[in-house]
């Protein structure tokens, strides 16, 4: 995998440890976990919308936004990129792990 994610993550951690005036990343850290989570949720929703609209260009942009905000959340939680790579490697070793369909909700 390209080092782009690692480089971005290192910049995010640098901003967390060494705040820089006018940095959007620092703004998110200063507002706290709830703000970071709100942005992750917003970006996730926007990815879903662009996926539904089948707009590749906007989809790429929104996926990038989601990845960025997820990396900010990871830094806030102390999750390292290597932790994610390790888990992805572990999951890639599974075979025949198809989960059954969820049942429809019948009563709310």
DSSP state string for 67-97:
HHHHHHHHHHHT--HHHHHHHHHHHHT--S-
Per-residue pLDDT at 100: 72
Share the mean pLDDT of the chain: 92
pLDDT at 9 over 70: yes
Confidence of residue 108 (pLDDT cuts 50, 70, 90): low
User: What is the pTM for the complete model shown?
Assistant: 0.84
Q: Which two tokens stand for residue 59?
A: 């989809």
pLDDT digits (tens, 9 = 90+) for 32-50: 999 999 999 999 999 999 9
Place of tokens 């970006």: 43
Q: Which two tokens stand for residue 94?
A: 């599974």
Signed CA dihedral, 23, 25, 30, 36: sign only:
positive
pLDDT at 2 over 70: no
- Domains of the chain are 4-85 (1.10.287.1080)
pLDDT digits (tens, 9 = 90+) for 19-30: 999 999 999 999
């Amino acid at each position: 995998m390209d080092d782009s994610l690692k480089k971005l993550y290192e910049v995010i951690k640098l901003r967390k440890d060494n705040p820089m005036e006018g940095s959007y990343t620092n703004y998110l850290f200063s507002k706290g976990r709830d703000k970071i989570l709100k942005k992750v949720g917003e970006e996730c929703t926007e990815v879903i919308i662009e996926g539904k609209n089948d707009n590749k260009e906007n989809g790429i942009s929104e996926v990038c936004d989601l990845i960025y905000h997820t990396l900010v959340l990871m830094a806030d939680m102390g999750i390292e990129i290597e932790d994610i790579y390790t888990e992805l490697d572990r999951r890639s070793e599974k075979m025949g792990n198809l989960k059954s369909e969820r049942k429809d909700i019948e009563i709310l």
